[in-house]
A and B are shown apart, each in its own frame.
Chain A
């Protein structure tokens, strides 16, 4: 039983010693992942599960031909460091691919990809 006592003590120590941050995973998006919208959005919003490092957090939005449909800089929202936003060009009907890569404040990188469709 002494081994388990050691493990239990260790795990308790691990849980109380310091505050922590984890991998930044995509929590939800607007337009929603895999959704079909009737009106082309003017901005893409990505909410993550952790705060992001602005300098190393990136997003691409491309149409089915691979052309860029976003403009300006990708920005981490000043009021919410877990929100990434990028302005979009006017979007005609079609399917769009979003690719993101972010660095959370604890130095873990994560990446992802999803589609949304505009059908007017």
Chain B
């Protein structure tokens, strides 16, 4: 139902845009901070509020269960700016689990929504920060997958820092950028009771609170070419951003006696950046047995709605109308 409401809203937005009701503005939209472009990363939220659509994100990996199940996950999410600095996003995923000796199960995961606010965009220092609150809505998933029946609320902080303010003598390092995310996940129910279908016994399991954190290190070939040195490389290489992402979750409260430890993955990969979309591919390397087994993969198509529809749904819904660029230079 919530999806239907949003589609209706988007259609209304399209109609309104066609009628020319939305203002034009000079903006940088997806994650530009001065001369730095920070791509949308596949695991860690980027530090900018933007109009963008990730569809699809496809991953295949083996879970940390015993026996290990093969998980195929297809997900999508859309982000929309309400004002220049405030945005919302909504997403969901479909998962298929193949467990040896068991029947295949599949279905949708919980619906996830996020409200994000842009705290800082410091162009000279290529620094961006945002804060967000995400809600994983319990009970919206397929029961067969064993998804949480309770909601989880996660306030988080995202940051991104380009190294463009290094001295020109360190030009080779200026295309580097670091981004990261820290969050704290709080379940809306401290424990979950289950009833054994055969014995009728009731058991209770704690729902721990997690500290979630991660970072990316990326090297922008577009930045190298346009700001440091043009090596006359093939065009394809000039669009690449090699990247390593790492994400972790550590139980920090309400976790006594349940034997959960830190889990996470390290994902080396590459993002190809175009004018209207980007494509990312990464390997998924679990950091321990609880995080999974073997090496999985992750791929994503990500559309820049602000570039595809710069005068319509790629605009914030509300905000100051800016009719011209603010000149930094004087000629």
Contacts and interface: CB of A to CB of B under 8 A. Distances in A.
A10 B7 contact: yes
Given A101-B327, A114-B228, 6 more contacts: A4-B74, A23-B28, A25-B37, A25-B275, A110-B35, A112-B35
Given A4-B56, A11-B53, A108 B29 contact: yes
Given A26-B226, A107-B25, A111-B34, A11 B55 contact: yes
A59 interface: yes
Nearest to A104: B310
Interface of A: 1, 3-4, 6-8, 10-11, 13-15, 17-18, 20-23, 25-29, 32-35, 49-50, 53, 55-56, 58-60, 70, 73-74, 86, 99-101, 103, 106-115
A57 to B, nearest CB: 8
B76 A4 contact: yes
A112 B311 contact: no
4 tightest A-B contacts by CB? A34-B229, A106-B310, A22-B307, A22-B275
B94 A33 contact: no
B312 interface: yes
Contact of B309 (A14, A23, A28, A101): A14
A14 B303 contact: yes
A26 B37 CA distance: 12
B310 A107 contact: yes
B286 interface: no
A114 to B, nearest CB: 5
Interface string B1-42: 001000100100010000000001111110010110100000
B78 A7 contact: yes
Given A14-B53, A58-B327, A59-B329, A108 B227 contact: no
B27 A101 contact: no
B92 interface: yes
B308 interface: yes
Interface residues of B, number: 55
B331 interface: yes
Contacts of B25: 107
B225 interface: yes
Contacts of B228: 33-34, 114
B141 to A, nearest CB: 11
Contacts of A114: 226-228
A113 B35 CA distance: 8
B311 A106 contact: yes
Contacts of A58: 327-331
A35 B308 CA distance: 34
B229 A108 contact: no
B109 to A, nearest CB: 10
B303 A11 contact: yes
A67 to B, nearest CB: 14
A3 B108 contact: yes
Contacts of B7: 6, 10
B230 interface: yes
A102 B55 CA distance: 31
Contact of A4 (B94, B225, B305, B325): B94
B230 A109 contact: no
A99 B307 contact: no
Interface in B283-331: 303-313, 324-331
Given A33-B225, A107-B25, A114-B226, A3 B303 contact: no
B55 A3 contact: no
A34 B226 CA distance: 9
Interface string B239-275: 0000000000000000000000000000000000001
A109 B325 contact: yes
Contacts of B310: 20-22, 106-108
Contact of A110 (B32, B312, B327, B330): B32
